[in-house]
Amino acid sequence: MKDVIICIGREYGSGGRFIGKLLAERLNIPCYDKELIIQASKKGDMNQTIIESNDEIPNSMMYSVFQGGLPINQQVFLAQFDAIREIANNGSCVIVGRCADYVLEDRDNVVSIFITAPIEERIKRATEFYKFESTKALKAIKKVDKKRKDYYNFYTNRKWGEASNYDLTLNSRIGVEKCVDVIVKYIESL
């Protein structure tokens, strides 16, 4: 297999992170999700806690805390931007979230994927895997999705979740394993 960078955007509770990790295992390549925070903290000489608390937060006055010339959330984006590009230079991998499809749009070996799911399945996943009470799961899903949407739309000038922005858009109601099967077949067809 030639080098391929697989970027996965996802709705909260859709299983995108699980799909990314299983896909990376199946292809025997690294997967980066929260690990990007560590890379970005090294790259941007920023405290890991600061990056974690400002991870995937849109740049707006509502969220902005200034340190130096730029808001911290913008500094975090730029540190993650640099970390994503450096990681991509090292060969094949899966990157979950953080506008990686946009950051790497100038490369021809990038496959961008968006994972969605029916709200009922997302609520079920949020209660099973993230231990939310069912009454609070929907609220958490809406809050995280809004944050991701605002972040992606701000930094990319694209519309988060719009199918035309991705190579593949998959509904995980077919199951995590089957989503991985589809992605592998797609990559093999390139």
pTM of the predicted model, to two decimals? 0.89
Name the DSSP class of 34: T
pLDDT for the residue 7: 98
pLDDT for the residue 71: 78
Pick the CATH number of 5-189 from 3.90.1170.50, 3.40.50.300, 2.40.50.140, 3.30.390.50: 3.40.50.300
- Low-confidence stretches of the chain (pLDDT < 50) are 61-66
Per DSSP, which regions of the chain are E strands? Answer: 5-10, 31-32, 66-67, 70-71, 93-96, 110-116, 168-171
Domain positions in the chain? 5-189
- Number of CB atoms found within 10 A of residue 189's CB: 6
Q: pLDDT, tens digit, for every residue of 116-142?
A: 999 999 999 999 988 888 889 999 999
pLDDT for the residue 169: 98
Greatest alpha-carbon span in the chain:
47
pLDDT for the residue 46: 63
pLDDT for the residue 37: 63
Q: For the residues of 79-113, what is the DSSP string, one character each?
A: HHHHHHHHHHHTS-EEEESTTHHHHTTT-TTEEEE
